[in-house]
Structure 1
Amino acid sequence: MDETMLAALSHPRLTDCRRLFLRNYEVRINIGVHDFEKRGEQRVVINVELFVPLALSTPVADKLAEVVDYDFMRSTIAARVKRGHIHLQETLCDDVAAALLAHPNVRAVAVSTEKPDVYPDCDAVGVEVFRIKEERA
C-alpha cells in the first residue's frame, strides 16, 4: 500500500469505524482496451475494505441484521461484472466503489483491482481508489 493510501486510511472520520475486508476475490471478466482483450475473459483480483461506524456495526443480539453482511461486497462486484465489457480497471474500481459506498451504513471504501496475467516479469498491474462519503450538514 502506498503512502497516499495509508494517509487516507488515517482520516479522522474513520477513527470510529470498523474495517471490513474482502481479500483477493478472483473473478474472470471481459476487460481491456486491446482487441485481443475484447475476445475473452481475464483474471482480475479484487480487494475491498469497507469502513462502517462502530455505532452501526456493533451487534447487541449477535444477529446478522446488525452488521453489514460480507455477501454485500461479493454480490456488488458480481453485479458489476455481469454488466459486460469494461475497458479500464479504473472504471471497474470506480463503479464498485460507488456501489459499495451507496450502502447507508458504509462511510468509506477502498477498492483495488489487479490483472495478474498481463506481464510475465511482474506480479500484477492494478488500480486502487479510496472514497469517503461527504459529511451531511
Structure 2
Amino acid sequence: MAREMAPEMDRRIFIRDFRLKVSIGIHDFEKEGPQTVIVNVDLHLAPADKAHGDRIANVLNYDIVHDGIVALAGSRHFNLQETLVEAILDLCLAQPGVIEARVSTEKPDVYGDCRVGYEARRRRAGR
C-alpha cells in the first residue's frame, strides 16, 4: 500500500506594525535624532521537510528576525527607507527555509495627514 502524501501547506511568518526608532532621512532635521519607523515583514516559507513536533528547533524562530531587525535599525544611519528595506530583506532571506520576503517601512510622522513608506519583495536566489 502506497504511503499517502500530506498536502503541501503554504506557510508564512509575519511581523506586523513593529515600531522602532531609527536614524533615517536625508534632511538636516531628520539627522537630529531617530524617527519612528513602522516595519512590516511577511516571510513565505518552504514546505516543511518534517513535522515540527511542537519544537522550536524545527521551525523558523521569529525572535531571530525580530532581534535582527532591532540590531540592524540601531546599527547606523540610513538615508533612505529603500536602503533599510533592502537590509531587512537580506536578513530575512538569510534565514533557513525562507523562500520569499516582503518588507515595508513607513514613516508616520513625516506628514500630518498621511504615512509615507516603501515596500519591496524578493525571492531567494534559485527559487
Place the TM-score, normalised by the shorter chain, in its bin: 0.7 to 0.9
Counterpart code for 1:50:
L
Q: Does 1:130 align with 2:121?
A: yes
Q: Which has the higher helix share?
A: 1
The answer to whether the Cα contact below 8 Å between 1:50 and 1:110 also exists between their aligned partners in 2 is yes
* Structure 2 equivalent of residue 7 of structure 1: none
Number of residue pairs the alignment of both structures matches: 120
Larger radius of gyration: 2
- Once the two structures are aligned, what percentage of the paired residues are identical? 43
Deviation at 1:58, TM superposition (A): 4.2
Q: Output the TM-score relative to the length of structure 1.
A: 0.82
Cα–Cα, structure 1 residues 58 and 48, in superposed 2: closer, same or farther, change >3 Å? farther
Counterpart code for 1:26:
R
Cα–Cα, structure 1 residues 134 and 57, in superposed 2: closer, same or farther, change >3 Å? farther
Deviations 1:104-127 (A, max 9, x none): 2111100000000100111x1000
Give the counterpart of 2:46 among 35, 50, 53.
Answer: 53
Q: For residues 82 and 56 of structure 1, what CA distance do their matches in structure 2 show? A: 35
Structure 2 unaligned regions, length at least 5? 1-7
Deviations 1:44-80 (A, max 9, x none): 0000011111224741x21001100111221121121
The answer to whether the Cα contact below 8 Å between 1:53 and 1:106 also exists between their aligned partners in 2 is yes
The answer to whether the Cα contact below 8 Å between 2:23 and 2:74 also exists between their aligned partners in 1 is no
Q: Which runs of 4+ in 1 moved over 3 A?
A: none
Counterpart code for 1:18:
R
Structure 1 unaligned regions, length at least 5? 1-14
Cα–Cα, structure 1 residues 121 and 19, in superposed 2: closer, same or farther, change >3 Å? same
